């Protein structure tokens, strides 16, 4: 919603006789949320619409108006001027015009055009939309804001600024003591909803008054209550003009709902629910999944839909399967361009998933890759269907109609782009330094931490999981340091660890009981050598202890012979599979998508759209509830893509819940705090951002701190503008209710944790807001949009492993020695699993053409706030981001930074603020929109 360079405001072409309107009814008084006593009669060639408005003296004022816009002689009356200096023929009143902008479909079918024509006609004759202006001043009789009502009548014969925007107008004769309008009540008399972009009121002395909306207006038949649209002036609760106080409270109450009943598509109700909709035991017992949320399996709350319970499990909510949509509040749904982009992604996934089945005569889903060239074919020509495959697919009746659609799409959708990780050097993934580089500049650069002491100890219960000591001993590590002592390496901050042992070990036996899944709990030690290169030097892979093997840990090192080389490659692949699962379920889904959802729900429920903090956060909430609902429907659900393609399988979301219980902490989601916690940075007042990185060449952290600092500076200046001191924060009733609800409802299972900020100072507020904005923008961008660039090449980042590493006393070991490549490839995901997850990663890494990036304002939403100082501060933020982009570009050319430059090394661009559409591997959207 915000812009790097302020874009031209949306102009309503309203002047002179553009709109042909009859004189409006006038008078103000008691406000009504429903339509105010309207009746109509039509006779002969022209009819009359009677508008009834309650006056301040409780007397009824009636004005008859011809529906065809002509006076009694049949001539068109002159349009009222929008200038404040124009005076009405009625003494003491001014002519005011409200211009409303409605967004139509961009790609219209014939039926849409017919419907638009009918709606345009109904609006033109005053039978479509009713507006009621509400003043900021109080009527002494009603003790509420003064009101005046009129119908939208007339349309513009001139082409609008955008072909998909229609403009209409309503004229008012407003008493001169009416005051400034602060809200508009809008009633939709049409049979269906419409999308309101905004309302601009002309005729008051202060110039055009903007009421930004970007909202769906429900039809009166669905809900008799009118919608409230506030002007673009920010008010703290205590500053709310007297005439708007009731409306401010009423609007918030209407959004919260009552927690009962099933939500309907047109509603804007925000409420909380457990994750009790992931399983489907009514369909299959094997699809039963535990409820997430509660003492046993804590989890953030999701948006409530209120669907009926499952027949076989009343604690679980019944499911809605594709293509039917899962409820989200109406304004959270994808707009048309986003819908088209996402639909194209689904089609691409469908095509990719069909190909392996076609190649296998539609009979098998467990075909492994037999050689690396089969993987290469995915990007060259392997997905282009041959004539015999087309004929074979068409012959299958179940797929006949589908394949007709497939084969008319064209070859482009049938071919994968070459992932960035192999686009410059197809063998880079084999090298140890590339494995380590991706821990700092890959898609999951948030797991690596410094290693400061030996022995490495587990925190799990030794009675269940065996002795806590790691097999990665000090002596063993010392052998891999090429003459440097372990003490020296620790002293010089040269040892690092990626430790998934405690998070995974409780799930290992469960995962290994699944068909075609084999996993270990892993620890990886990395060494930053004197040449300035980070490399893995030892990997520990553990299984839970058994009576025959109470010590079930093995350590692998690089070695120097061919056998050791291939085993080391398999050990790294197991680590990558673990990393892919933790990345997807914890660092990506839990720490961004799931944790952000309660912040969004609480913001709508507790902060009025007039509240300055609502206005600050609003662009960072776009599309998140919708993408999360789609994920619950198809990605993280029982039997969904995540379960099918990632190591944890059916235990995926239980693992995510365990991580929430053990590691998620709000205050540690701030980038500086996270870096310090992992030992990757130390506080240093003399360093930029007050932090000194332990590894200077850490692209995610280095670029991330630039983005974090820009966000923090913008937030601090914004908060300083609206809050004078700590008391103003503590006395803000909406703000305190918002923060209380986030802790005690949205993150209910963590409500008693001591680390929650108190929100009793401006500093607390700035930290909270910076964490939320960073999570929705920079953090999500860094760990999402690299999924296909890094994960699109399966050997580089397998999402699961299907075989254990063969041991010398096992029959498989001889087969491994004879054909190590076959052993390696058959350990990777099958062709079907690989292409399925590649298609999903491709979709999730794609920017929609309507994406709104950090520091940008959508052209149609330019009037988001009426405050010159705030716009100036935002302009500084936008300029800062432009400067950051230049800094990152220069860093990517610095030959000293080996994790960004060098032969075949892709630059680190995931935190470049801007991007075009598509899979670009760069760009920071304002919100979690994919």
C-alpha to C-alpha distance for 355 and 584, rounded to whole angstroms = 25
Kindly report whether the peptide bond that precedes residue 323 is cis, defined as omega within 30 degrees of 0.
yes
- C-beta of residue 517 within 8 angstroms of C-beta of residue 649: yes
Going by C-beta distance under 8 Å and a sequence separation of 6 or more, which residues neighbour residue 314? none
**DSSP states along 819-846:** -HHHHHHHHSPPHHHHHHHHHHHHHHTP
Cα-based distances in Å from 627 to 342, 355, 454, 623: 10, 27, 43, 6
How far separated are the first and last CA of the chain, in Å rounded? 16
Which helix (H) or strand (E) covers residue 210, if one does?
A: strand 209-217
Backbone φ and ψ for 101, nearest 5 degrees, come out as -110, 125
Alpha helix ranges (H) inside 845-896: 868-891
Q: How many CB atoms lie within 10 A of CB 561?
A: 8
**DSSP states along 687-728:** SGGGEEESSS--HHHHHHHHHHHHHHHHHHHHHHHH--SHHH
Q: Which of 195, 583, 593, 747 is catalytic?
A: 593
Backbone φ and ψ for 758, nearest 5 degrees, come out as -80, -25
Going by C-beta distance under 8 Å and a sequence separation of 6 or more, which residues neighbour residue 758? 764
Q: Which of 202, 780, 861, 863 is catalytic?
A: 780
C-alpha to C-alpha distance for 518 and 515, rounded to whole angstroms = 9
Residue 747 bears catalytic tag: no
Q: Which of 94, 199, 924, 930 is catalytic?
A: 930
Q: Which two tokens stand for residue 458?
A: 């587990």
Residue 784 bears catalytic tag: yes
Q: Which two tokens stand for residue 776?
A: 């929705």
Residue 588 bears catalytic tag: yes
Q: What is the 3-state secondary structure (H, E, C) of 800-813?
A: CCCCCCCCCCCCHH
C-alpha to C-alpha distance for 695 and 490, rounded to whole angstroms = 14
Instruction: Give the distance, in angstroms, between the CA of residue 687 and the centroid of all CA atoms in the same chain.
Output: 33
Which helix (H) or strand (E) covers residue 359, if one does?
A: helix 336-359
Q: How many residues does the chain have?
A: 930
Burial 51-83 (b: 16+ CB within 10 A, else e): bbbbebeeeeeebebbbbbeeeeeeeeebbbbe
Strands 534-542 and 521-528: antiparallel
Instruction: Give the distance, in angstroms, between the CA of residue 58 and the centroid of all CA atoms in the same chain.
Output: 49
Residue 618 bears catalytic tag: no
Closest alpha carbon to 222 in 263, 185, 253, 251: 263
Q: Which of 188, 628, 784, 892 is catalytic?
A: 784
Long-range CB contacts (< 8 A, 24+ apart) of 397-403? 399/354, 399/362, 402/350, 402/354, 403/354
Alpha helix ranges (H) inside 496-608: 501-512, 562-582, 595-606
C-alpha to C-alpha distance for 452 and 111, rounded to whole angstroms = 68
Alpha helix ranges (H) inside 130-225: none
Residue 195 bears catalytic tag: no
Cα-based distances in Å from 350 to 71, 374, 503, 749, 837: 61, 20, 33, 38, 11
Q: How many CB atoms lie within 10 A of CB 267?
A: 20
**DSSP states along 624-665:** HHHHHHHHHHHTSSTTSHHHHHSTTGGGHHHHHHHHHHHT--
- C-beta of residue 153 within 8 angstroms of C-beta of residue 221: no
Q: Which of 352, 588, 618, 689 is catalytic?
A: 588
Instruction: Give the distance, in angstroms, between the CA of residue 28 and the centroid of all CA atoms in the same chain.
Output: 43
Radius of gyration of the chain (CA): 31
Annotated catalytic residues are: 588, 593, 780, 784, 930
């Amino acid at each position: 919603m915000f812009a790097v360079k302020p874009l031209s405001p949306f102009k309503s072409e309203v002047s002179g006789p553009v709109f042909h309107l009859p004189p409006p009814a006038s008078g103000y008084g008691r406000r009504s949320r429903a339509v105010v006593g309207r009746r109509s009669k039509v006779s002969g060639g022209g009819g009359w619409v009677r508008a009834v408005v309650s006056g301040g003296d409780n007397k009824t004022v009636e004005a008859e108006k011809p529906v065809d816009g002509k006076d009694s002689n049949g001539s068109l009356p002159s349009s009222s001027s929008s200038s404040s200096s124009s005076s009405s023929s009625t003494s003491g009143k001014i002519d005011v015009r409200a211009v409303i902008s409605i967004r139509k479909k961009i790609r219209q079918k014939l039926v849409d055009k017919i419907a638009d024509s009918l709606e345009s006609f109904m609006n033109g004759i005053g039978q479509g939309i009713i507006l009621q202006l509400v003043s900021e001043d109080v009527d002494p009789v009603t003790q509420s804001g003064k009101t005046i009502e009129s119908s939208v009548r007339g349309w513009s014969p001139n082409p609008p600024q955008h072909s998909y925007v229609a403009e209409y107008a309503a004229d008012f004769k407003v008493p001169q003591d009416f005051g400034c309008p602060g809200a508009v009540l809008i009633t939709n008399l049409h049979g269906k909803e419409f999308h309101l972009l905004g309302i601009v009121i002309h005729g008051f002395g202060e110039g055009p008054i903007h009421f930004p909306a970007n909202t769906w207006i429900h039809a009166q038949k669905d809900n008799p209550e009118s919608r409230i649209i506030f002007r673009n002036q920010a008010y703290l609760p205590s500053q709310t003009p007297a005439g708007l106080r009731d409306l401010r409270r009423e609007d918030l109450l209407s959004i919260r709902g009552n927690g009962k009943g099933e939500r309907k598509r047109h509603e804007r109700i925000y409420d909380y629910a457990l994750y009790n909709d992931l399983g489907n035991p009514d369909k299959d017992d094997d699809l039963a999944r535990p409820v997430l949320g509660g003492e046993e399996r804590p989890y953030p709350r999701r948006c409530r839909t209120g669907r009926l319970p499952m027949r076989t499990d009343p604690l679980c909510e019944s499911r809605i399967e594709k293509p039917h949509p899962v409820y989200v509040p109406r304004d959270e749904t994808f707009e048309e361009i986003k819908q088209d982009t996402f639909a194209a992604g689904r089609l691409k996934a469908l095509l990719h998933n069909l190909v392996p089945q076609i190649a296998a005569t539609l009979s098998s889903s467990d075909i492994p890759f037999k050689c690396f060239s089969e993987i290469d074919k995915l990007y060259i020509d392997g997905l282009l269907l041959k004539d015999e495959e087309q004929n074979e697919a068409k012959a299958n009746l179940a797929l006949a109609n589908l394949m007709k659609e497939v084969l008319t799409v064209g070859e482009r959708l049938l071919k994968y782009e070459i992932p960035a990780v192999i686009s410059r050097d197809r063998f880079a993934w084999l090298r140890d330094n590339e494995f380590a580089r991706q821990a700092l500049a890959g898609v999951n650069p948030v797991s690596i931490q410094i290693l400061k002491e030996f022995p490495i100890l587990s925190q799990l219960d030794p009675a269940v999981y065996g002795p806590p000591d790691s097999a990665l001993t000090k002596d063993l590590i010392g052998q891999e340091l090429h003459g440097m002592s372990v003490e020296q390496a620790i002293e010089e901050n040269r040892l690092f660890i990626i430790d998934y042992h405690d998070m995974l070990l409780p799930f290992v036996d469960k995962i290994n009981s699944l068909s075609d899944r084999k996993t270990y709990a892993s620890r990886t030690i990395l060494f930053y050598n004197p040449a300035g290169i980070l490399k893995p030097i030892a990997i520990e892979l553990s299984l839970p202890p058994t009576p025959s093997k109470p010590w079930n840990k093995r350590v692998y090192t690089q070695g120097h012979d061919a056998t050791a080389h291939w085993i080391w490659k398999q050990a790294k692949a197991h680590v990558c599979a673990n990393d892919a699962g933790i990345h997807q379920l914890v660092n990506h889904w839990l720490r961004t998508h799931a944790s952000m959802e309660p912040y969004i729900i609480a913001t709508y429920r507790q902060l009025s759209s007039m509240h300055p903090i609502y206005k600050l956060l609003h662009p960072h909430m776009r599309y998140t509830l919708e993408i999360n609902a789609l994920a619950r429907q198809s990605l993280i659900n029982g039997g969904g893509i995540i379960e099918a393609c990632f190591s944890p399988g059916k235990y995926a979301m239980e693992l995510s819940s365990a991580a929430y219980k053990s590691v998620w902490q709000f205050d540690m989601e701030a980038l500086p705090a996270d870096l310090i916690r992992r030992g990757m940075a130390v506080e240093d007042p003399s360093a930029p951002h007050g932090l000194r990185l332990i590894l200077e060449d850490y692209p995610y952290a280095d670029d991330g701190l630039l983005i974090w600092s820009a966000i923090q500076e913008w937030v601090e200046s914004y908060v300083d503008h609206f809050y004078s001191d700590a008391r103003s924060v503590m006395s803000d009733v909406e703000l305190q209710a918002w923060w209380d609800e986030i802790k005690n409802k949205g993150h209910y299972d963590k409500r008693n944790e001591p680390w929650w900020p108190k929100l009793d100072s401006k500093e607390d507020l700035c930290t909270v807001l910076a964490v939320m904005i960073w999570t929705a923008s920079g953090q999500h961008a860094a760990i999402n949009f690299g999924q296909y660039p890094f994960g699109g090449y399966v050997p580089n980042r397998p999402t699961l492993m299907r075989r254990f590493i063969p041991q010398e006393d096992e029959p498989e070991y001889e087969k491994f020695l004879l054909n190590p490549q076959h052993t390696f490839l058959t350990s990777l995901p099958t062709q079907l699993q690989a292409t399925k997850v590649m298609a999903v990663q491709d979709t999730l890494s794609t920017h929609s053409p309507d994406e709104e990036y950090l520091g940008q304002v959508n052209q149609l939403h330019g009037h988001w706030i009426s405050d010159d100082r705030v716009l100036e501060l935002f302009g500084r933020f936008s300029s800062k981001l432009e400067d950051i982009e230049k800094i990152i570009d220069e860093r990517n050319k610095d030959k000293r930074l080996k994790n960004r430059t060098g032969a075949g090394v892709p630059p680190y661009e995931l935190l470049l603020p801007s991007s075009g559409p598509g899979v670009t591997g760069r760009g920071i959207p304002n919100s979690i929109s994919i």
